[in-house]
Structures are given as C-alpha cells and as structure tokens.
Amino acid sequence: MMPSPPNWAQALLRVFVKRADFDCVSGDLLEAYRDTVHPVRGQLAADVWYVTQVLWFVIRGARISATLFAAAFLTRTALDWLVPPLDFHARSTASTLLGVGLLLATGLQASRRSGSLLAGTLTGVATTAIAAIVSVVGAAILLTIWHGAGTMAAIRASGGLGEVFELPILMILPGAVLGTLGGMAGAMIKRPGSSQ
C-alpha cells in the first residue's frame, strides 16, 4: 500500500486551490510525497513537508485579505493614538463595518473559488490569524516609534495597550463566523457556466 499524507491536509488543500487546478496540484504534491519525500525522510517528516506545502497555499489564498485587514487595524490604531477623537463611536462603527465587509467578501470569494462552503470559514480564520500576527508586530513597531506621554494618554483613552495587542487575536473567532456567512453567500451565488 502506498503511503499517504494526512487526509485533513489534503482536505485543506482542496479548500485553498481553485477547483479547476485541484487535481493537478494535489497530484503533483502526492507524487512528490510518495516518490521522493517519504522514502527519504520517513512518515512523520514527510507529513510535515506536505503540511508545509499546503500552508503555502493557505497563506497565498489569504494574503491579500489579511494584508488589508491588518492595514485597516493598524491605520485605526495609529489614528487613535495620533489624532484621538472626542467620541470614538463614529470611528469604531466605520472600522467595524470595514472589517465585517472585508471578511464577508473574503469568505464569499473563497467559496466561489474552491466550490466549498468550508472555504469561507477557513479563509476567514486564515485571514484573521495572519492579520493578527501582522497587526501585533505592526502595533509593537508603532509603539516603539511613538511612546511619548501624549501618545500613552491617547492609548489609555482608546482602550489601552491590552486592546491593541489582544483585539487582533480575539478577531479570529468573528473571522470564522463572518467567513462562514460569506461562504454561504458565495455558495448561493451560482458561478457563471457552473453545472453545480
């Protein structure tokens, strides 16, 4: 019996690769896994190799939305620190709507690309998880640049440092929910020329 990579990783690949390309891409990876990687490195290392290859597609699939999401978060953070408003309500509403819209659109686009409803959920998670890393690192850089008394007062007034570093991570769950909703919308919109 020929060795096989983890089923969940193959399922994840299906979600992040275009339907039309899945057979060729997964076939190429499976061939490399069985032909070269597994015989040389053994089961565990070969599985790690396969998962790493799949993660490349995951990151590629979510990179644009994650960049936009992180950019929105960091822009909002910088504005709150440098141009603090008297009332945060309008700014919060605008940034929340932007984030929600972005995640819905990401889920919709992902499910239409792969033809899988799950794609919306997983892309929402990948988007917010990658954005969380970028946002936390970006916020730390902003803090290194701007940490005067006025800025620290503005940070306290806008929710404190805890919010700056925890909010991006807390967004992963809403990212899953909104990505799923976007994915459901994408599944309901029939693709032009699709027979499904």
Half-sphere exposure of 14 (CA within 13 A, CB side): 10
Q: Is 143 exposed, middle or buried (0-12, 13-18, 19+ CB in 10 A)?
A: middle
Q: Locate 130 and state its tokens.
A: 């990658």
Contact range with other proteins by CB under 8 A, out of 53-61, 76-84, 89-97, 187-195? 53-61
Q: Using CB under 8 A, which residues numbered 92 to 151 contact other proteins?
A: none
Please state the closest distance from residue 119 (CB atom) to other proteins, in A: 16
Q: Locate 47 and state its tokens.
A: 């599985």
Verify binding: residue 172, other proteins, rule CB under 8 A: no
Instruction: Please tell me the distance from the alpha carbon of residue 192 to that of residue 9, in angstroms, as a whole number.
Output: 29
By beta-carbon proximity to other proteins, the closer residue of 8 and 56 is 56
Verify binding: residue 60, other proteins, rule CB under 8 A: yes
Please state the closest distance from residue 77 (CB atom) to other proteins, in A: 31
By beta-carbon proximity to other proteins, the closer residue of 32 and 98 is 32
Contacts for 161 with CB less than 8 Å, ≥ 6 apart: 143, 155
Instruction: Please tell me the distance from the alpha carbon of residue 106 to that of residue 177, in angstroms, as a whole number.
Output: 12
Q: Using CB under 8 A, which residues numbered 16 to 35 contact other proteins?
A: 21, 23-32, 34-35
Contact range with other proteins by CB under 8 A, out of 51-59, 69-77, 89-97, 114-122? 51-59
Closest CA to 88 of 191, 96, 173: 96
Please state the closest distance from residue 11 (CB atom) to other proteins, in A: 14
The site that binds other proteins (CB under 8 A) totals a number of residues, namely 20
Instruction: Please tell me the distance from the alpha carbon of residue 139 to that of residue 95, in angstroms, as a whole number.
Output: 16
Verify binding: residue 6, other proteins, rule CB under 8 A: no
Write out the residues near other proteins by the rule CB under 8 A: 2, 21, 23-32, 34-36, 52-53, 56-57, 60
